[in-house]
Structure 1
Amino acid sequence: MGREYDIAVVGGGLAGGLTALAIHRAHPAIRIALVEAGESFGGNHRWSWFEHDLGPEATDLLSGFTATSWTGGNEVRFPAHRRKLAANYCSLDSRDFDAHLRRQLPQDAILTGMRAASLRADRVEIGGGPDIKARAVIDCRDAVPSEHLAGGWQVFLGQHLRTRAPHGIERPVIMDATVNQPGAYRFIYLLPLGANEIFVEDTYYADSPVLDREMLARRIEDYAKAKGWSAEVLHEETGVLPVITGGNFTAYRASLQQPGVALSGARGGFVHPLTSYTMPVAAANALAIAGAAHLPGTELSDFVEKRAQEHWRRTRFYRLLGKMLFDAAIPEERYRVFERFYRLPEPLIERFYAARSTRFDKLRILSGKPPVPISRAVTALLGKGAPLVHESHR
């Protein structure tokens, strides 16, 4: 006999975890299951966002999590431009994400260590175990590469360091692009977690999804030495995220979706296509799904499908910018795109990260002398871009 629930959310990452939590908070009587292949929710990640990215409801949804926040603004660093911005910043570690979900969700909702073999409209088939039956099934598993989408990749290694002496970083550094640019847009991302603790991430907007962990670790070590830090590594994470610049979104979703199953999260295309910031989109989508949680499974699937198509249409501008970044900018000079962007008014920058750019914002971003050669820009706009097909990690 399998277990029976009203709603089964498959995939306990950010999108799945927030969706399950939002549904439970809005409808405590709904029997919900959060099905995760790993032994903990959230995997091994850190999610960050600016304070203005979230509306009141999303802020309330996140309020119980133990997140780190900074009230001294943030800064960016480029070869010809350095700027401090006023927006405060927040960051959530997946270990704290897991702990809060376990506290808030009913015990029988927590189904870790269960890998879904297949999904159907009324059940989740578990490999080597009994089925999980449900009125509605929501697929929030990880995003997958696809020939139906085009773009590039954001590749990174992040390390939580403990320095022997105070590191001296007072506020988050969103991008330190004063580092070497080896055939990709490279920057260092810094989060001061204490006087002697700091999260350092080496990030690349690269054409290839290959992640060379040893090389990135050496570069972080070199960066730390250049700053005069003697440090030990307490924890680390890696990631290879798609930066979507175009494609056939309907075909992409059709290749993954099972009839009657709601396809959500990053797998369903609910991401910021250029920055890969997922918190604002994940929280808003979780709240919307919670508001529609009473619908039958097929209707809930249709509801999420409409939201996905609308999100794709609404984020077209960011895919256009991504296309210019990957297909028009010379790889070693991609940093110039962001260097120019960070000279724009701060409210515009805030709306950009939240994927809420106004028409005037878009005109302002595109006006003036372009940071890429005109001929390459025209070629990029006419091209289809490289398919987002993954390669193996080294």
Structure 2
Amino acid sequence: MVDSPTNPGTPEAAPHDVIIVGGGLAGGLIALALHRHAPDCRFLVIEAGRTFGGHHRWSWFETDILAHERDLMAGFTLNGWDEGYDITFPRLSRTLPTSYRSLASAEFHRALTEELPADRVRLGTKVASLDAGGVTLADGTRLAARNVIDCRAFKSSKALNGGWQVFLGQQFRCEEPHGLTRPVIMDASVDQVAPYGNEAAYRFVYVLPLSETDVFIEDTYYADQPKMDAEVLKGRVAEYARRNGWKGEVVDQEAGILPVVSGGDFNAALAEVAIPGVALAGARGGFSHPLTSYTLPFAVDNALAIARLIAARPDVSGAELAAFCHRRAKRHWRATAYYRVLSRMLFQAAEPHKRVVVFEHFYALRGALVERFYAGRSTWPDRLRILTGKPPVAIPRAMRALFFPGKPLDTKPFKMETPA
């Protein structure tokens, strides 16, 4: 299939059943789920960029996605490792057995444009406004729809509290085989310094062996401010490559700043972005892991739930679909409350230079517990086990963190000192 550009001024033959605004991970997967599971649905996905998914790499543990939901990812060419993964800390190194998967946005775009009908896709198309009755494009074209789903990017809110995950990754093409056979999910043996100034932050390096000679190296920080000096991070990635004896050239790069939510007024945050009668999905709708910022497992689950609803009730109204997504968002917020407590422990109970100890304590626990944590399905025994044993933080600070939601998320534009 090919991209379907906007045709200004051309009226639609009939209203759409669903218009999805935003062709990132959430929007693209909803379109795919509708195409496969609600074949009679007349949907349209609109993306301002020229490609689906932007410029990202999404990774997840195989167990993050329930077995009956994994078919939605069939058709994507993934990087996969079934030998487990490594973690390294100042006083701990282990290999855990869980299989790991990774999807590049270029592959996401390729697979979607090949499978979705061309007349269901509009890339490079900007939207001026959304409402319960449809979408108005930047050129004035009006597209009517029974249902509109807003899958645009996350919008920061002072109603939410927490910190930030700052990262920059580069794909190196090595002159010789790099020798890795498993991902290194966290190498926290590196200096614990923030990506700006001399402030401390929890820092780790994330490494994926994409082929015998290609390796993806990402420098990541849990920081108090949404700031990045990309040149500093590039230098740290290069230094990590040198330290491991990997010589070659950079063939790709990505960077980002993601929220790590520790609390807040979720209803107020949703009210800031909600449009009456328009459904909210993706990170904008609150569907992410509060501590890890993972979105893919929740995007898969949501896409299939929306497709099932529309397949069963083709005449579902916009107000009903919006209410359906709102209920799911509220349920997700309640289900992830424990992880917001852990976010508070990280950002408030642990001094910045000691945050590494919190993660080191966690990764010393049983592998199955770690699996359930990342999937957002921690059991009550898991939760107790994570918080028991020798405390990785001072008890008085931990007690204060239990009852204080944290600093409001900065709503100023993210500061990139040097474009990545």
TM range (shorter): over 0.9
Q: Distance in 2 between matches of 1:61 and 1:380?
A: 39
Aligned to 2:353: 332
1:1-394 correspondence runs (5 A): 1-3=10-12, 4-182=15-193, 183-293=200-310, 294=314, 295-389=316-410, 390=412, 391-394=414-417
Structure 1 window deviating more from structure 2 (348-357 vs 124-133): it is 124-133
For 1:201-235, what per-residue CA distance to the aligned partner results, in whole angstroms no more than 9, with x for missing partners? 00000001101110000001111111111121000
Q: Number of matched residues? A: 394
> How far 1:382 sits from its partner (Å)?
2.9
Equivalent pair of 1:177/1:335 in contact (CA under 8 Å)? yes
Q: Distance in 2 between matches of 1:345 and 1:37?
A: 44
Q: Distance in 2 between matches of 1:242 and 1:33?
A: 29
Q: Distance in 1 between matches of 2:175 and 2:407?
A: 44
For 1:275-319, what per-residue CA distance to the aligned partner results, in whole angstroms no more than 9, with x for missing partners? 111111110011111111232111000000000000000000000
Q: Distance in 2 between matches of 1:255 and 1:147?
A: 10
The TM-score, its normalising length taken from structure 1, stands at 0.98
Structure 1 window deviating more from structure 2 (327-336 vs 2-11): it is 2-11
Equivalent pair of 1:72/1:88 in contact (CA under 8 Å)? yes
Q: Distance in 1 between matches of 2:254 and 2:383?
A: 34
Equivalent pair of 2:264/2:405 in contact (CA under 8 Å)? yes
For 1:110-138, what per-residue CA distance to the aligned partner results, in whole angstroms no more than 9, with x for missing partners? 11111211110111111124122111000
Report the secondary structure of 2:227's partner residue.
coil
Q: Distance in 1 between matches of 2:120 and 2:228?
A: 35
Q: Distance in 1 between matches of 2:228 and 2:137?
A: 31
Equivalent pair of 2:184/2:207 in contact (CA under 8 Å)? yes
Equivalent pair of 1:138/1:263 in contact (CA under 8 Å)? yes
Equivalent pair of 1:189/1:202 in contact (CA under 8 Å)? yes
Q: Distance in 1 between matches of 2:98 and 2:308?
A: 30
Q: Structure 1 runs of 4+ off > 6 angstroms?
A: none
> How far 1:57 sits from its partner (Å)?
3.1
Code of the aligned partner of 1:221: A
Identity of aligned residues (%): 52
Q: Give structure 2 stretches of 5+ with no counterpart.
A: 1-9, 194-199
Equivalent pair of 2:38/2:308 in contact (CA under 8 Å)? no
Code of the aligned partner of 1:290: A
> How far 1:378 sits from its partner (Å)?
2.1
Q: Distance in 2 between matches of 1:177 and 1:38?
A: 35
Q: Give structure 1 stretches of 5+ with no counterpart.
A: none
Equivalent pair of 2:172/2:214 in contact (CA under 8 Å)? yes
Equivalent pair of 1:69/1:90 in contact (CA under 8 Å)? yes
> How far 1:385 sits from its partner (Å)?
1.1
Q: Distance in 1 between matches of 2:11 and 2:361?
A: 56
Equivalent pair of 1:2/1:133 in contact (CA under 8 Å)? no
Code of the aligned partner of 2:390: K
> How far 1:58 sits from its partner (Å)?
2.0
Equivalent pair of 2:344/2:405 in contact (CA under 8 Å)? no
The TM-score, its normalising length taken from structure 2, stands at 0.92
> How far 1:383 sits from its partner (Å)?
2.2
Report the secondary structure of 1:308's partner residue.
helix
Code of the aligned partner of 1:328: A
CA RMSD of aligned residues (A): 1.0
Report the secondary structure of 2:39's partner residue.
coil
Cα 1:379/1:105, change in 2 over 3 Å = same
Equivalent pair of 1:5/1:33 in contact (CA under 8 Å)? yes
